[in-house]
Amino acid sequence: MRKKNENLFEWSYFLDDKKEDLLTVKYILSENGEKVIEFVIIYTTIIDEIPKEVIKYDTSQKEKTHAHYNYQNPPKKVFIQREVSIETVLELVKYIENNWRKMKLKFMEK
Protein backbone atom coordinates (compact mmCIF):
# COMPACT_ATOMS: atom_id res chain seq x y z
CA MET A 1 0.00 0.00 0.00
CA ARG A 2 1.25 3.45 -0.83
CA LYS A 3 0.46 6.27 1.55
CA LYS A 4 0.45 9.57 -0.37
CA ASN A 5 -0.27 11.84 2.57
CA GLU A 6 -1.45 11.46 6.12
CA ASN A 7 -5.02 10.57 5.19
CA LEU A 8 -4.91 9.19 1.61
CA PHE A 9 -4.18 5.51 1.10
CA GLU A 10 -3.99 3.69 -2.21
CA TRP A 11 -2.84 0.42 -3.66
CA SER A 12 -3.16 -1.55 -6.90
CA TYR A 13 -2.58 -5.15 -7.83
CA PHE A 14 -3.21 -7.49 -10.72
CA LEU A 15 -6.00 -10.03 -10.50
CA ASP A 16 -4.49 -12.24 -13.21
CA ASP A 17 -1.12 -13.70 -14.21
CA LYS A 18 -1.09 -11.94 -17.60
CA LYS A 19 -1.23 -8.56 -15.85
CA GLU A 20 -4.23 -7.42 -17.87
CA ASP A 21 -6.70 -7.07 -15.00
CA LEU A 22 -5.90 -4.41 -12.42
CA LEU A 23 -7.69 -3.54 -9.20
CA THR A 24 -7.04 -0.07 -7.77
CA VAL A 25 -8.24 1.04 -4.34
CA LYS A 26 -8.03 4.56 -2.88
CA TYR A 27 -9.57 5.98 0.24
CA ILE A 28 -9.30 9.06 2.42
CA LEU A 29 -9.60 8.89 6.19
CA SER A 30 -10.97 11.64 8.40
CA GLU A 31 -8.40 13.89 10.08
CA ASN A 32 -8.55 11.82 13.27
CA GLY A 33 -8.12 8.63 11.19
CA GLU A 34 -11.26 7.05 12.58
CA LYS A 35 -13.46 6.81 9.49
CA VAL A 36 -13.37 6.66 5.71
CA ILE A 37 -14.78 9.84 4.16
CA GLU A 38 -14.22 9.08 0.45
CA PHE A 39 -13.21 6.06 -1.60
CA VAL A 40 -12.87 4.74 -5.13
CA ILE A 41 -12.38 1.14 -6.24
CA ILE A 42 -11.73 0.49 -9.93
CA TYR A 43 -11.35 -2.73 -11.88
CA THR A 44 -9.62 -2.09 -15.21
CA THR A 45 -8.85 -4.60 -17.95
CA ILE A 46 -6.74 -4.38 -21.09
CA ILE A 47 -8.57 -5.06 -24.37
CA ASP A 48 -6.69 -4.62 -27.63
CA GLU A 49 -3.90 -2.93 -25.66
CA ILE A 50 -6.30 -0.26 -24.34
CA PRO A 51 -7.23 0.02 -20.65
CA LYS A 52 -10.99 -0.24 -20.11
CA GLU A 53 -12.79 0.50 -16.85
CA VAL A 54 -15.09 -2.46 -16.18
CA ILE A 55 -16.56 -1.41 -12.84
CA LYS A 56 -16.02 1.45 -10.43
CA TYR A 57 -17.39 2.01 -6.95
CA ASP A 58 -16.97 5.43 -5.44
CA THR A 59 -18.24 8.01 -3.05
CA SER A 60 -17.29 11.57 -2.24
CA GLN A 61 -18.41 14.43 -0.11
CA LYS A 62 -20.54 15.55 -3.08
CA GLU A 63 -22.12 12.22 -4.02
CA LYS A 64 -23.32 9.13 -2.13
CA THR A 65 -21.90 5.66 -2.70
CA HIS A 66 -22.55 4.43 -6.22
CA ALA A 67 -21.37 1.96 -8.82
CA HIS A 68 -20.57 2.43 -12.49
CA TYR A 69 -21.42 -0.91 -14.12
CA ASN A 70 -19.56 -0.39 -17.38
CA TYR A 71 -19.76 -4.10 -18.18
CA GLN A 72 -23.53 -3.90 -18.58
CA ASN A 73 -25.21 -3.01 -21.84
CA PRO A 74 -25.94 -0.15 -21.64
CA PRO A 75 -23.55 0.91 -18.87
CA LYS A 76 -25.32 1.95 -15.67
CA LYS A 77 -24.65 4.22 -12.74
CA VAL A 78 -26.48 2.95 -9.66
CA PHE A 79 -26.57 4.43 -6.17
CA ILE A 80 -26.08 1.73 -3.57
CA GLN A 81 -27.13 1.73 0.05
CA ARG A 82 -23.74 1.18 1.67
CA GLU A 83 -22.18 3.08 4.51
CA VAL A 84 -18.88 4.78 3.84
CA SER A 85 -16.48 2.65 5.90
CA ILE A 86 -13.37 0.53 5.63
CA GLU A 87 -15.63 -2.53 5.93
CA THR A 88 -17.54 -1.44 2.83
CA VAL A 89 -14.30 -0.84 0.93
CA LEU A 90 -13.03 -4.31 1.83
CA GLU A 91 -16.37 -5.97 0.99
CA LEU A 92 -16.47 -4.33 -2.45
CA VAL A 93 -12.85 -5.31 -3.11
CA LYS A 94 -13.68 -8.92 -2.18
CA TYR A 95 -16.73 -8.82 -4.46
CA ILE A 96 -14.60 -7.74 -7.42
CA GLU A 97 -11.92 -10.34 -6.59
CA ASN A 98 -14.57 -13.07 -6.64
CA ASN A 99 -16.43 -11.87 -9.78
CA TRP A 100 -13.99 -10.08 -12.09
CA ARG A 101 -13.90 -12.91 -14.62
CA LYS A 102 -17.70 -12.82 -15.09
CA MET A 103 -17.66 -9.02 -15.35
CA LYS A 104 -14.88 -9.13 -17.92
CA LEU A 105 -16.76 -11.66 -20.07
CA LYS A 106 -19.91 -9.52 -19.99
CA PHE A 107 -17.84 -6.44 -20.83
CA MET A 108 -16.28 -8.19 -23.84
CA GLU A 109 -19.71 -9.32 -25.09
CA LYS A 110 -21.06 -5.76 -25.35
> Where does the chain show beta strands of DSSP type E?
2-3, 8-14, 21-29, 36-47, 50-59, 66-69, 76-79
Whether the per-residue pLDDT at 80 is higher than 80: the answer is yes
Give the per-residue pLDDT at 1.
45
Q: How far apart are CA 34 and CA 91, in angstroms?
A: 18
H helix runs in the chain, sequence order: 86-109
Whether the per-residue pLDDT at 103 is higher than 60: the answer is yes
Q: Strand, helix or coil at 11? A: strand
Task: Provide the β-strand partners of residue 45.
Answer: 21, 52
Q: Give per-residue pLDDT as tens, 2-61.
A: 445 778 999 999 999 999 999 999 999 998 888 999 999 999 999 999 999 999 999 988
Give the per-residue pLDDT at 31.
87
Whether the per-residue pLDDT at 84 is higher than 80: the answer is yes
